[in-house]
Chains A and B, each alone.
Chain A
Amino acid sequence: MIRLLYFARLREALGTGGETLELPKGVDTLGRLRAHLAGRGAAWAVEMAPARNLRAAVNQDVANPETSLKDGDEVAFFPPVTGG
């Protein structure tokens, strides 16, 4: 199982702040996870589309599509940050 978190505009668009997920077979990188989530269709397809400017973190460190995933990871997707 991995823990998924969604923040800000993305959280509102998906209608959830997070979930736990059993990593499907073959979904072993952040990029593959994003494609898997986009495959859910509807808002997921829109928000997780490759053209969408999304940032991600694995275990609270900035990650890229090649970052590998393993059981127990905390994975977060979020829009570009706007603090300060």
Chain B
Amino acid sequence: MVTKWLFFRLSLGGKAMNVRVQEQDFDISAEIAAMRAGSPKIGAIASFVGVVRDVNDGDSVATMTLEHYPGMTEKSIAAIIDQARGRWEVLDALVIHRVGTLKPTDQIVLVIVASAHRGDAFAACEFIMDYLKTQAPFWKKEITPQGGRWVDARATDEQAAGRWEGIKK
């Protein structure tokens, strides 16, 4: 696994970039510590953690299963991080997205962005999350007392991603 990710980093031209799609949970403290280690240019780190709610659209959610498109999902998130790098001063970025079956209170997604200053870190973190929600191929299926149902895409997520189009760096 370590060898595989080392190869992934090197294959991206040595640029510090990480995208992980995995079943296992993540530790935000450990990930931030790893990002900060030996990087004195970092002055700001912004992060986002998405968590499974127990209610969606008025129904209680027992579990949620996340499906993805292996290969395209990773490629899509890497492209989103690249777009963020083109707009803001990003020193490092990490996205971890979980797949498989999760339950309420479980962590789903982690975005960490490191920059010299907070403005770039905040904006890039939110941008990456907004684009991930509307572009990266993941699909959620909820198990409720009424049975299983695929979650519908939300217009509000499209609007959130769309508002970045008019915003220049």
**A residues neighboring B (CB under 8 Å):** 5, 7-9, 57, 60-62, 76, 78-84
Cβ contact of B138, chosen from A5, A9, A60, A81, cutoff 8 A: A81
Closest A residue to B75 by beta carbon equals A60
The reply to whether A83 and B132 contact each other, CB–CB distance below 8 Å, is yes
In the complex, A9 Cα to B148 Cα: how many Å?
A: 11
Q: Does B109 contact A (CB under 8 A)?
A: yes
**Cα distance A9–B134 in the bound complex, in angstroms:** 17
Query: Using an 8 Å CB-CB cutoff, how does the interface string of B112-151 with A read, 1 for contact, 0 for none?
Result: 0000000000000000010011111111110000000011
- Determine if A79 and B150 form an interchain contact, defined as CB atoms under 8 angstroms apart: yes
Residues in A neighbouring B27, C-beta threshold 8 A: none
What 7 A-B pairs come out closest when comparing CB atoms? A83-B138, A80-B153, A8-B139, A60-B72, A84-B133, A9-B150, A82-B151
Selected interface stretch from B7-15, B61-69, B81-89: B61-69
| Interface assignment of B91: CB less than 8 Å from any CB of chain A | no
Q: Is B152 an interface residue (CB 8 A)?
A: yes
Q: How far is the CA of A55 from the CA of B125 in the complex (A)?
A: 26
| In the complex, B102 has a CB within 8 A of chain A | no
A81 touches B136 (CB 8 A): yes
| B: interface residue count bin | 20 to 34
Main secondary structure of the interface of B (DSSP, over half): mixed
Contacts of B71 in A (CB 8 A): 60
- Tell which of A7, A60, A61 touches B139, judged by Cβ atoms closer than 8 Å: A7
Least CB separation from B137: chain A residue? A81
Query: Chain B residue with minimal CB distance to A78?
Result: B137
In the assembled complex, how far is the CB of residue A36 from the closest CB belonging to chain B, in whole angstroms?
22
Residues on A with C-beta less than 8 A from B153 are 79-82
Does B108 make an interface contact (CB < 8 A)?
Answer: yes
Q: How far is it, in angstroms, between the C-alpha of A9 and the C-alpha of B150 when the chains are bound?
A: 6
The reply to whether B132 and A82 form a contact with Cβ atoms under 8 Å apart is: no
Question: B132 and A78: CB pair below 8 A?
Answer: no
With A7-B67, A8-B150 known to touch, is A83 a contact of B72 (CB < 8 Å)? no
Is B50 in the interface zone, CB < 8 Å from A? yes
A11 to B67, CA, bound (A): 11
Q: Which B residues touch A84, using CB under 8 A? A: 50, 97, 108-109, 129, 132-133, 136, 138, 157
| Cα-based distance from A36 to B133 in the complex (angstroms) | 30
The distance from the CB of A28 to the nearest CB of chain B, in whole angstroms, is 22
